[in-house]
Amino acid sequence: MKKPWNIVVMRGGPSEERAVSLNSGQAVIEALKSLGHVVTDVDPRPGDWKLPETTDAVFLALHGTYGEDGTIQRELEAVGVPYTGCGPETSALAFDKARSKAAFEAGGVPTAPYVICGQEEREAPTHLGLPLVIKPARQGSSVGIEMLRDWSDWPGQLDRALAFGGDVVIEPFIEGREITVGVLEGEALPIVEVCPKQGFYDYHHKYTAGATEYVCPALFPDSVRIGIEQAALAAMAAVGGGMYARVDFMVGEDTIYALEVNTLPGMTATSLLPKAAAAKGISFPELCERLVGLALAGRGQPIT
């Protein structure tokens, strides 16, 4: 029988997604404790955290900057502690939407046309048409996303997106079905379809109870489903791979468009990756424990 592990759950942190991270971390703490593991709760800041000497592994329940951009991963590797999720390079690449879009193109992953704008490059991309989606390049959870429907709103909406720091990615709004595919140990999990009751899947619809419905497994013909699963694995490979992640897509009438790879997706029992795992027969506590086991096995620690 596996002995209890001493696990630190890192949650909270300094990003715009702090509140979401606190919820993810609390769910993970409860799940791991339910299986008998010893769990310590740590709310880190850059360079300002301490782990118990008995720590076997860190479960990263951080989202956004510092958590998903490779920073905490580099700090943990510097002290030689196993952690869940992707490594620093993959995390940094996937978190930057501008870099990951280029990686998708280089890897043959279907993605929508796009342009990058910044403080110095502000020309409206009229060749892309309307409506457009304006995304801060280095934020998650739909933080800072703007929907441009009239060119007269371009200056103000661009400024609001740029206020989150760094460049912004602009791409056409794709009419179609929004889906997400969990990838666990190189295998695509059942597809989750996201159905906002109004508008698009923004921060409000992600975190407001009852604002969105979910279908898992999503209903697609086998040929389409297989194409989506292959695209998810290709997107994961394009950013460098890792033990687990979630890949978001829009599916049009005849095209699949990769949006982004989330290397530390939401981890409450009702989040999208856990929904997909549950459809595969993996309970939430089992999923959390499995991710810790992968961290230990993948970073030189025996599982006993």
Catalytic, 177? Answer no
Pick the catalytic residue: 144, 262, 271, 289? Answer: 262
Q: Is residue 203 part of a domain?
A: yes
Sheet holding 6-10, edge to edge: 38-42, 6-10, 57-60
Pick the catalytic residue: 171, 178, 229, 248? Answer: 248
Catalytic, 271? Answer no
Q: What is the pLDDT of residues 235-262, one digit of tens each?
A: 999 999 999 999 999 999 889 999 999 9
Q: Is residue 98 part of a domain?
A: yes
Catalytic, 246? Answer yes
Catalytic, 83? Answer no
Q: Are residues 27 and 57 in the same domain?
A: yes
At 302 the pLDDT is 44
Q: Is residue 16 part of a domain?
A: yes
- Number of domain units in the chain: 3
Residue ranges, the chain, pLDDT below 70 = 1-2, 141, 198-211, 299-304
Q: Is residue 251 part of a domain?
A: yes
Catalytic, 23? Answer no
Count the neighbouring beta carbons within 10 Å of the beta carbon of residue 209: 6
Q: Are residues 99 and 185 in the same domain?
A: yes
Catalytic, 248? Answer yes
Pick the catalytic residue: 207, 225, 241, 286? Answer: 207
At 199 the pLDDT is 61
Catalytic, 210? Answer no
How far is 268 from 39, CA to CA, in rounded Å? 16
Its domain, for residue 159, covers 115-172
Tokens of 271: 């989040």
Q: Are residues 103 and 198 in the same domain?
A: yes
Pick the catalytic residue: 21, 24, 141, 142? Answer: 141
At 203 the pLDDT is 53
Catalytic, 107? Answer no
Q: Are residues 126 and 56 in the same domain?
A: no
pTM for the model stands at 0.92
At 202 the pLDDT is 56
At 235 the pLDDT is 98
Q: Is residue 304 part of a domain?
A: no
How far is 132 from 172, CA to CA, in rounded Å? 4
CATH code of the domain in which 145 resides: 3.30.1490.20
Q: Are residues 49 and 164 in the same domain?
A: no
At 247 the pLDDT is 98
Q: Are residues 239 and 158 in the same domain?
A: no
